[in-house]
Amino acid sequence: MAYELFRRFSLFAELDDAELASVAAVAKPRRFARDEVVIREDERGDVFCLIKQGRVKISMTSPEGKEIILSTLGPGEFFGEMSLLDDEPRSASVIATEKLEVLTIWQSDFLELLRENFGITRRLLAEMSKRLRDASSRIESLATMDVYGRLARYLLELAASQGREAPDGYVAVTRPTHQAIANTIGTSRETVSRLIHELMEQGLLLSEGKTIYMRREALRKFREAS
């Protein structure tokens, strides 16, 4: 596989051509359809995955069968490292939310790359630190905020991670379903629909097809509420 492809992953940013070629030599492409399960919670882990194209959600299922979305990841990001590092079962399920292309690396090759290249190891640990910070922030918001505050923080983070500048000072994001938002912030779909409807009535959000436009003033209000 062409090693230039691997330059787009920040995990490999410090590698020279020869090192990138050695990563490319052990990576295999795999494709998944939308809604296909890539990794199942509690199974044994054997591969590490880099997202070439598409998005996934990382989720757990409660004993009552309710889905809890921990995170979503897109192109250039990775998943499946935890069980390869601690030899425990998969910590969560990973499901394609769009057509997905990943590059997979076997556990033994993945561990060898980490052993040989401190640049990769350091960046992997930095990303895992970021995910722990995000999880801490989520615990804090679940313990201390009402649903409006949690929705405000969710929309702010969505704007920061995926927002695009739009005309008239709006920030545009691709609209997740109300169910996906509810499963991320720990509430019901009906509550999310009601709150988003209220924000639209106040002119803070506009919805058009698959896009939500957030007014700058909305982002300021969300910052105050979260």
Binding site for ligand CMP (CB under 6 A): 39, 45, 58, 70-71, 79-83, 90-92, 94, 131, 135
CB of 201 to ligand CMP, least distance (A): 33
CB of 180 to ligand CMP, least distance (A): 15
Residue closer to ligand CMP, measured from CB, 184 or 218: 184
Residue closer to ligand CMP, measured from CB, 13 or 135: 135
Query: 3-class DSSP state for residue 116?
Result: helix
Residue closer to ligand CMP, measured from CB, 129 or 202: 129
Residue closer to ligand CMP, measured from CB, 84 or 152: 84
CB of 25 to ligand CMP, least distance (A): 23
CB of 202 to ligand CMP, least distance (A): 32
Query: 3-class DSSP state for residue 196?
Result: helix
CB of 57 to ligand CMP, least distance (A): 10
Residue among 109, 59, 110 at smallest CA distance from 81: 110
Residues 185 and 147: beta-carbon distance below 8 Å? yes
The residue count for the chain: 226
| CB half-sphere exposure, 22, CA atoms < 13 A | 13
CA distances to 179, 184, 186, 188 from 176, rounded to whole Å, are 8, 11, 15, 14
Residue closer to ligand CMP, measured from CB, 90 or 215: 90
Residue closer to ligand CMP, measured from CB, 19 or 81: 81
CB of 169 to ligand CMP, least distance (A): 32
Question: What φ, ψ does residue 213 adopt, rounded to 5°?
Answer: -105, 130
Query: 3-class DSSP state for residue 52?
Result: strand
Rg of the chain over CA atoms, in angstroms? 19
